[in-house]
Amino acid sequence: MTFKCSGELHCENSAEAKLTIYFEEKKQDEFKVKQLPICVEENQVNTSIDIKVFRFWSEEFDHDSNEINIIFEHYACGYNATYDSSNELANNGAYLIVDEEIQNDASYYYWSGFDEGRNKTYYRYLEEVDKIPETSEGSLTVNDKNCILEGCEIIVYDKDGKQLYQNTGKSPCNVEIACDDDCPKGYLKCESNKYPGYCCLPCKDTASKIRDLGNKL
């Protein structure tokens, strides 16, 4: 080797390697390399890929003064946002949810509908916006802890230290590497009458199926 591998070395005595790259358990890329061995680095990084900014806000209509006022605003980052209503909350209340996480705490929720005692009607809204405001005054709250999420970076080098591949995505990430006719780590090699004459079965799923079959006998 003419370079120092700071990651993991693979396929030292092989003619070809097949790599399959996964981000968030979804196949991202697949390619073959003949300049072996290869060095694979997996680094933990911060990422904002595909993250959205959500604005929750609430209005009240005062039937006595005929005025409408914004009474609360909340901004948060994530992939999905919604209101989660509950019969246990006052005034048809609903929690603010981003990526299945209650915002602030369980005592923080927005009302909806008419409140006879206050003679006011409450409305709640949710929209996707470009960014979180730089200031947070009055009733505006911000949860920006999830604006930068944990991700991972995968880098692949050939035997000469040349970078062949680099990509960053959401965690978890994984690289499956098959050297020549071997199966990747975590797979069981089985004969097959189809090309290339063998197949690779995931050990975890295969073991689970065998246990299920044994339980039925």
Over the stretch 86-145, which tens digit does the pLDDT of each residue have?
Answer: 889 999 999 999 989 899 887 889 999 999 999 999 999 999 998 887 765 556 777 666
* Beta-bridge partner residues of 76: 54, 143
Distance of CA 26 to the CA centre of its chain: 11
- How far CA 57 is from CA of 16, 28, 116, 122, 140, in Å, comes to 56, 37, 21, 11, 9
Q: Which DSSP category does 89 fall into? A: S
Question: What average pLDDT score do residues 183-195 get?
Answer: 86
CB 23 within 8 A of CB 170: yes
CB 10 within 8 A of CB 17: yes
The answer to pTM > 0.95 is no
